[in-house]
Amino acid sequence: MPATVILGAQWGDEGKGKLVDRLAEQATWVARFQGGNNAGHTVVLGDQVLKFHLLPSGITRKECNLVLGDGMVIDPWVLNDELVNWKESSDEDPRGERLFVSERAHIILPYHRYMDSLDSKIGTTGRGIGPTYADKINRIGLRFGDLSEVNGDSNWAESTSERMNASLDAAGSTERVSKQSLLDDISWICDNFSSAIANTGLMLDNALKLGENVILEGAQGCLLDIDQGTFPYVTSSVTSRGNSTHGAGIHPGHVEEVIGITKAYITRVGNGAMPTELLDEVGDHLGTVGHEFGTTTGRKRRCGWFDAVVMRHAQRINGFTGLALTKLDVLGGLDEIKICVAYELDGQEIREMPSSASALERCKPIYITMPGFPSQTLTEWLGIAKKANSEGKGFSALPSAAQHYIKQLETLVGVPCTSVGVGPDRDATIDLVE
């Protein structure tokens, strides 16, 4: 059975966790392939709200194996906290049983967090992601597979702490790393994760050869991709389809289905241009009704109308086979809904995103306008979704204006919607009826 890739198609926070949680019911493996605890995935199970930063969203399915893949950077202390919290709620510690950490994944150490805290331009999460990837590229990083080689090695700890302190001093930080603290950190990581460290790429490859169902779960979104995003206001990894298999340690021929997650509007956290951003009562409506606060940072998300220019760019990079539209319910109650179909840049109409951050800042959105549809309570939306799926109604269960809006998005992006989310609950999703 081929692998399925789940990717964010905007600037992140699109609702990937909810979709992965649903699809994981039929999956044997869910693997993260990039990023670290700068991601935040939320899964709602009735009254229970689960928020993950490192653990794959498939953890809620007890029969599903979990992988933190080769292309990730992992903070072992954050991972341990998530596992402790999971054990408290589920009475399960999956490490080494169904949770496996790639021996090729890089380790976020306190030094990396110290360096990241100095950022004042990009608006990072401060979790040490960028500095850890920088060490990876500079070929001086530490991987989980290297732990046994350096554990207890005082010469390594001395030279490494000296290098770290020189970098901190040059960057203007007052934080310092001692040789002993570094040795203690390595010993602690070994004690807590040795049982889970594995050749996860080989495990996934074998699973696929046996016909098992593997989901590759992305973090952040296409517009935060280090190469294809709105540079320099991006994350430090390749978030797109091309890295899904590479970062998991398998070949791209395994992938057949690529689902792009997109909100029915658009949001962004952090700095950088966002042409359709709304600073009026409509923006307030989207932020309030959509509860738009970052899972990882708690920062208020910037909200705007759906941007088809952004989505066409995401589609070109990723080749989505289907779109999972989320948060359609949030648009309920608006008299009219706008969709950005092009930009005006310095007096000229353009239909593709400029690569320059300053040019994107100057872009003005060109809109088409569609009629709105009535608001519903979350309970009412959940009822609509359950009835639509149980009776095989699909999208026809939605208000006619909402159906027209979905069809317009499909036309503009050139990809069919395979599901539509109308609330945070696991069951508040309407599946396409073929």
Domains, the chain, ranges and CATH? 3-254 (3.40.440.10), 262-431 (3.90.170.10)
Any alpha helices (H) in 221-326, and if so which ranges?
Answer: 241-246, 281-289, 308-318
Query: Tokens at residue 82, please?
Result: 């998530």
Query: Per-residue pLDDT tens for 185-233?
Result: 999 999 999 999 999 999 999 999 999 999 999 999 999 999 999 999 9
DSSP state of 427: T
Note whether 299 and 293 are within 8 A (CB). yes
70 is catalytic: no
Q: Is 338 helix (H, G, I), strand (E, B) or coil?
A: strand
Of 224, 407, 245, residue with least CA distance to 314? 224
Q: Is 421 helix (H, G, I), strand (E, B) or coil?
A: strand
Q: Is 13 a catalytic residue?
A: yes
Catalytic: which of 13, 70, 116, 225? 13
The helix/strand/coil state of 44 is strand
Q: Any idea how long the chain is? A: 434
Q: b/e for 207-226, b at 16 or more Cβ within 10 A?
A: bbeeeebbbbbbbbbbbbbb
Q: Which amino acid is at 241?
A: R
Biggest CA–CA distance in the chain, Å, is 69
* 234 neighbors 49 (Cβ within 8 angstroms): no
C-alpha neighbours within 13 Å on the C-beta side of residue 113:
14
Distance (Å, whole) CA 200 – CA 21 = 21
Other C-beta atoms closer than 10 Å to the C-beta of 275 total 22
* pLDDT score of 22: 86
**pLDDT of 181:** 97
- Is residue 181 helix, strand or coil? helix
- Pairing relation of β-strands 73-74 and 48-52? unpaired
Task: Say whether the peptide bond before residue 232 is cis (omega within 30 degrees of 0).
Answer: yes
Taking phi over 0 as left and psi of -120 to 50 as alpha, with beta for the rest, 212 belongs to beta
DSSP 8-state code for residue 300 = B
Q: Which of 1, 64, 6, 2 is nearest to 240 (CA)?
A: 6
pLDDT at residue 19 in the model = 86
Asked whether 349 and 365 are in contact (CB, 8 A), the reply is no
Residue 323, C-beta contacts closer than 8 angstroms, at least 6 positions apart:
9, 259, 260, 261, 262, 409, 410, 413, 415, 416, 417, 418
Q: How many helices (H) and strands (E) does the chain have?
A: 14, 20
414: left (phi over 0), alpha (psi -120 to 50) or beta: left
- Cβ atoms 326, 14 nearer than 8 A: yes
Q: Which of 41, 53, 112, 313 does the annotation list as catalytic?
A: 41
Q: What's phi and psi for 230, nearest 5 deg?
A: -85, 70
List the structure tokens of 64.
């599903």
What pLDDT does residue 41 have? 72
Q: What is the pLDDT of residue 39?
A: 76
- Residue 279 CB partners (closer than 8 Å, separation 6+): none
CA separation for the pair 425, 94 (Å, rounded): 25
Render each residue's pLDDT in the chain as its tens digit; 434 residues. 689 999 999 998 898 888 888 888 889 999 999 999 987 777 776 667 778 899 998 898 999 999 999 999 999 999 999 999 999 989 999 999 999 999 999 999 999 999 998 876 766 778 899 999 999 999 999 999 999 999 999 999 999 999 999 999 999 999 999 999 999 999 999 999 999 999 999 999 999 999 999 999 999 999 999 999 999 999 999 999 999 999 999 999 999 999 999 999 999 988 899 999 999 999 999 999 999 987 666 778 999 999 999 999 999 999 999 999 999 999 999 999 999 999 999 999 999 999 999 999 999 999 999 999 999 999 999 999 999 999 999 999 999 999 999 999 999 999 999 999 999 888 999 998 87
